[in-house]
Structure 1
Amino acid sequence: MTRDPHRPEPLGSGRPPARTRAGIADGPGGTEEHPAPRRDPDTGPLVRIDQPPVPPRPAVGPSRGRPRPVAGPETSELRRDDERTDAVPPAPGGPAVEARDHGPGHEEAPADAPLTAVPDALGAEVTGEPPQDTPSGAPRAVGRAGRDMAAAVGVGLGLGAVVFATLLLWRPSFLAVVTAAVLISVFELSGALEKGGHRPARTPVLVGAIAMAALAWTRGPSGLVIAFLLTVFAVLLWRLGDGPVGYLRDASAAVFVALYVPLLAGFAVLLLAPDDGAARVLTFIGTVVCSDVGGFAAGVLFGKHPLARTVSPKKSWEGLAGSVAACVLIGTLLITLVFDGPWWGGVLFGVAIAVTATLGDLGESLIKRDLGIKDMGDLLPGHGGLMDRMDSLLPSAAVAWLILSMIAPV
């Protein structure tokens, strides 16, 4: 009976391996787990003809990056981010792709970068994108938040001037500003959802947004709720025209837009409606701004412990503490001096606004990461879209109206 030369010899047999008896020895570097290619005395090493040979790669220390496939036909070989190679084998019929040699001073990107580097205000150290250049060729001044800080400050001051002017000159003009901001935000959020595969109906939501602002101004909370319910009903009917495929997905997305933007913005209109509405709106907006400023300052100076690493890596527990401290200070001053309310009411107002504004910011960051985008739009230089500035204001408006209705009733 002929013995199979490739079957392993039993342990302790004392006979040399079948490969050695046949005159075929392992090449240099062969091991038990990964033997070198077999070498025939007449034809030389056996090489697969359906794949070009891959040159050996020099070892560069312990691999810490994630393995990723190497370009090549029908290969399952993995390569780690911190390994280097002189060239990638060309595909059959295609040109060779040479690896870039960045020089000895080049530092590789961190291997533990997030899987989706599309945060909401993250710098180049997270997104991996260099700062954009100005038309003159000089790089823009980008701060730790990954934004053009000069443009961001200028736009913020401009928006603040519009708010102050409309509130102090004629209150109904601020209602027009809120309605315009809501319509633009609906467009931006709907467009972002479309990039994620959803198709929210914009027309009924836009019409409903105008109705919610008008009825909140004229009829109060009941008018706002009724307008929202009618908007939801209109969305469900509107989507019927496109058939059953994706009905639940698209209708849910449109209802989410109606709830997130015009309904929450309607509480800002409810704050504006009383005779002292200008003071109430300024108290609400001023406290939210203090939350952002206090959180940013404390995060830059003392931030070490991430608050939600997978959602917004720049936010820290120290920044949240700074937001709470700033909001409590400004809230206590405004509630006691402007509305003659109790000091504990100012503390409650400040803590609630700080927490709500932070949760609103994190919520929109979570939405943008899920959709794979960095900003909701590009309307405001240094900020992104208008919706990117409404994220902390929208949920805080509802909380501000509720607390002010209790501690400073009309």
Structure 2
Amino acid sequence: MNELLKRTLTAIGFGAVMLAGLTIHEFGFLALMLIIHTGCLWEYQLLIAPQQEYRIEQKKKAFVYSMVSGTIIFYLLSTGFRFLFFINDYIYFLIVPLLLGYLILELFLKSNSPLRNAALNAMGVIYISFPLSMAIFFSYHHENAAWFPERSGVILGIVLLVWLHDTMAYFAGSIFGRNRIMPSVSPKKSWEGFFTGLASTLLAGWILSGYFHQFNPIGWMVVGAIVSVFGTLGDLVESMMKRAAGIKDTGKLLPGHGGFLDRFDAFIFCLPFVFLFYMIVILLN
């Protein structure tokens, strides 16, 4: 089976799962976010392993703590967004002991580079857990509204824009891409592909405003631009990490796409910036 067909079939299958999770019921959405978070954090830990100075037994213990603490922090952040306006904000302080736990762990592991190891482990929370928890915020900011499209519409819109940009940039870059954005990091990414993707997300953002009313047409076009710019930066950051680790893909679970982190790097990276724009819109209104 050729690469394009594999990519297409995987995209259709996983796209159907994403669409169902985002539109049918909030529990499906929460389960979907947990699966994505677990898969991405798992692959991140494998990705940073070559950069850490651990013996095998040390790495196993650090891996277990990172997965457990990262999942708990993701839950706490998501719960904090879920109940932000109903209970209090103190739940966020529970995250601090878990983050300090990365340093405490190094005391007992007695590795050769404790600060480097702890920093790389903690970065997984900043890089993956924090952004994905923001997806929960979008769906619970207006909790009394209907699930779809009022509550899940923003996330679905972001997902569609990310996938549209990736698709258009891929095809445009393959056909007439000449000028590379950062060839030392990602030889295939071209400016022609980027600007084609950007134009596509701007147009799609304007169209989405007719279906999802969380933003007006200009607002959705801004979201489209954010997705294109920071999604591309997210792709480049992940490519940089893969080059440092000496690997091509972070996993093999998604044929033609690699792993979870390969598929969701752009989505994860653009979420904080869409979140920031969303907060600005709320404050201005």
Give the TM-score category using the shorter length.
Answer: 0.7 to 0.9
Q: Residues 86-235 of structure 1: matches in 2 within 5 Å?
A: 140-141=1-2, 148-198=3-53, 199=59, 200=62, 201-202=65-66, 203-219=68-84, 222=89, 225-226=92-93, 228-235=95-102
SS at match of 1:383: coil
Moved more, 372-381 or 211-220: 211-220
Shift of 1:228: 4.4
| Distance in 1 (alpha carbons) for counterparts of 2:237 and 2:193 | 17
1:289 alignment partner in structure 2: 163
| Distance in 2 (alpha carbons) for counterparts of 1:250 and 1:371 | 15
Shift of 1:222: 4.9
2:269 alignment partner in structure 1: 395
The answer to whether the aligner puts 1:360 opposite 2:234 as a matched pair is: yes
C-alpha root-mean-square deviation of aligned residues, in Å?
2.4
Shift of 1:277: 1.9
Q: How many residues align?
A: 265
2:205 alignment partner in structure 1: 331
1:371 alignment partner in structure 2: 245
Gaps of at least 5 residues in structure 2 are 54-58
| Distance in 1 (alpha carbons) for counterparts of 2:133 and 2:257 | 23
Q: Which structure has the larger Rg over C-alpha atoms?
A: 1
User: Normalising by the residue count of structure 2, what TM-score does the alignment of the two structures yield?
Assistant: 0.84
Bigger relative contact order (CA 8 A; separation at least 6): 2
In terms of fraction of residues, the more helix-rich structure is 2
Shift of 1:217: 2.7
| Distance in 2 (alpha carbons) for counterparts of 1:354 and 1:290 | 9
SS at match of 2:83: helix
Gaps of at least 5 residues in structure 1 are 1-139, 142-147
| Preserved contact between residue 342 and residue 407 of structure 1 (Cα < 8 Å) | no
| Distance in 2 (alpha carbons) for counterparts of 1:315 and 1:206 | 32
Using a 3 Å threshold, how does the CA distance of structure 1 residues 224 and 175 change in structure 2: closer, same or farther? farther
How high is the sequence identity, in percent, across the aligned residues?
Answer: 25
Shift of 1:223: 6.9
Shift of 1:230: 4.0
CA distances 1:172-209 after superposition (whole Å, capped 9, x unpaired)? 22111101211121111101211333555423223323
Shift of 1:377: 1.3
CA distances 1:142-188 after superposition (whole Å, capped 9, x unpaired)? xxxxxx22222222112211122122221122111101211121111
Using a 3 Å threshold, how does the CA distance of structure 1 residues 344 and 169 change in structure 2: closer, same or farther? closer
Shift of 1:406: 3.7
